[in-house]
Amino acid sequence: MKLLVLGLNHKTAPVDIRERLAFGPDIIAGALRDLTGCNSVCEGTILSTCNRTEIYAAVHDGAEEEMRRWLSGFHGLEHERVDPFLYAHADRDAVTHLLRVSSGLDSLVLGEPQILGQVKTAYQTAVDCGSNGKLLGRLFQHAFSVAKTVRTETAIGSSPVSVAFAAVNLARQIFSDLSQQTALLVGAGETIELAARHLHHNGVGRIIVANRTVERAHDLAAQFDGFAISLTEIANHLPDADIVIASTASPLPVLGKGTVERALKKRKHRPIFMVDIAVPRDIEPEVGELSDIYLYTIDDLQEVIDESLRSRQAAAEQAEEIIGFHSGEFMAWIRSLDAAGLIQDYRQRAEELRDEVLARAQRQVEAGKPPAEVINFLAHTLTNKLLHAPSSRLRQAARDGDAGILEAANELFQLEQTRTHSNP
């Protein structure tokens, strides 16, 4: 069995492609069942965030093409439209990729910590669906451990850089004094919570939290002296909002062009700064065409983020070294699985030969042969049977000039050391 990662991210695909291939929480369980129903896929986990959609799988040969077609087909897209944006990593490269993702080295924001929580959620979802097995289970646990090591042994997360931080930093550039502004936060997940914290820290005048579940919105708003509304109430409060940051898991936009146009009229065309962090998008792209609207998507934040990353570059290099070492460790464990199977088969064969020779020896004892003669027969016959196949293979290797097998046997049985001790 092999490891395979197939996916796309903010580096390989624009947001309009990423949102078409996103797996919402309401469909991911069915997707995992469908994925592991493929002939070549034995285990599977799907990681779907605003910046990436990735499939981690334990597979048989020939799985990559089947998985490529499955991904596009599941979302009802033509294979030719999706395929140019996909990347694939196998075996050690797959291990390294997951370790880099979990440690925040492959994120839009270098070293951002939110991705680890998203990876853990993806893993737990796969466990709950029964689509993970021994190989992926061990891989993800290894990734969590390595990500913790990277966090504790490097300064990768020392400065407050995140998508939420970038959004608030951009708002500060547009509105020099946030104390006079009202922020409408759409959603109540981790990214929105981070945005709320950054806004509150920068003295924003008022925070409104809109969410499908009002109780969750209230819990979040209460932490920052804000107030909560439902998604259906957004139109009533949008005219008060100077800053809008949206990040929900909705498969469809929650804020349309018409609603924003009506809000602008009530505001007498005072501008609104909007950031749509969600994938699929929460704000219709056409909103960005309106005058007095400054709409940024997650991809537009890259320049703001880049300004805050320079302090993390040295830490990232150190993190890459840690990941390289631990990738090798995991591949060594995989190779040990192959050895374990070989050892088990060899032991079983040896036990079968032992039982066969022992039965013959017992019959000789029952026939009255002297014990010493039977013991000699047992030792001689068992030795010959155990060594027959390896001896034949070594003779063939010598005839073929296969030095690799001869050297391996020498190391395995420590023959050279034995000869040295027996001939002082």
What does each C-alpha distance from 386 to 288, 343, 360 come to in angstroms? Answer: 77, 14, 16
Question: How big, in percent rounded to 5, are the helix, strand and coil portions of the chain?
Answer: 60, 15, 25
Residue with tokens 């030795």: 383
**Which one of 38, 42, 50, 129 is the catalytic residue?**
50
Q: Which two tokens stand for residue 291?
A: 């005058």
Cα separation, 67 vs 21, in Å, equals: 13
Q: According to the annotation, is 90 in a ligand binding site?
A: no
Cα separation, 376 vs 359, in Å, equals: 14
Q: Can 50 be counted among the known catalytic residues?
A: yes
Q: In what order do the strands lie in the sheet with 87-90?
A: 41-48, 52-59, 2-9, 87-90
272 and 244 Cβ atoms separated by less than 8 Å: yes
Cα separation, 64 vs 165, in Å, equals: 37
Nearest to 110 by CA among 309, 311, 303: 309
Q: According to the annotation, is 313 in a ligand binding site?
A: no
Q: Which two tokens stand for residue 26?
A: 């309401």
* Encoded amino acid at 85, one letter: F
282 and 255 Cβ atoms separated by less than 8 Å: yes
Q: According to the annotation, is 51 in a ligand binding site?
A: yes
104 and 159 Cβ atoms separated by less than 8 Å: no
- Sign of the dihedral defined by the CA atoms of residues 8, 13, 15, 20, in that order: negative
Three-class SS of residue 87? strand
- Sign of the dihedral defined by the CA atoms of residues 3, 86, 32, 96, in that order: positive
Residue with tokens 């020099």: 176
User: Which runs of consecutive H residues, i.e. helices, occur in 163-295?
Assistant: 163-174, 190-201, 214-222, 234-237, 257-266
What is the β-pairing status of strands 41-48 and 52-59?
A: antiparallel
Q: According to the annotation, is 188 in a ligand binding site?
A: yes
Q: According to the annotation, is 189 in a ligand binding site?
A: yes
Q: According to the annotation, is 118 in a ligand binding site?
A: yes
Cα separation, 103 vs 326, in Å, equals: 12
DSSP 8-state symbol, 22? -
Binding residues for NADP(+): 187-192
Residue positions annotated with a catalytic role: 50
Binding residues: 49-52, 107, 112-114, 118, 187-192
Binding residues for substrate: 49-52, 107, 112-114, 118
